[in-house]
């Protein structure tokens, strides 16, 4: 059983919802989310994951075009 299934909370500062995704902390910080974790992984809730996807959409499309 993983940490998300055990009920870990969202690492974004000011959020207390249950986490839905586990991502690299570098990617989350690069997207502009304020993460308060000292580990390698950042746990984020559904709402912050949706925000993460919106902020990184342009970068993903550029990578698809570049390596596509």
Residue 6, both tokens: 């055990």
Tens-digit pLDDT profile for residues 17-29: 999 999 999 999 9
Model pLDDT, residue 15: 93
What is the percent of the chain with per-residue pLDDT over 70, rounded to a whole number? 100
What are the boundaries of each domain within the chain? 3-67
Average pLDDT over residues 30-57: 94
9-28 burial code (b ≥16 CB/10 A, e <16): ebbbeebeeebebebebeeb
Model pLDDT, residue 20: 96
Model pLDDT, residue 45: 97
């Amino acid at each position: 059983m993983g940490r998300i299934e055990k009920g870990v909370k969202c690492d974004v500062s000011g959020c207390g919802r249950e986490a839905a995704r586990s991502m690299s902390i570098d990617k989350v910080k690069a997207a502009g989310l304020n993460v308060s974790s000292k580990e390698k992984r950042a746990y984020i809730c559904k709402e912050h994951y949706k925000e993460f996807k919106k902020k990184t959409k342009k970068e993903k499309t550029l990578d698809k075009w570049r390596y596509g």
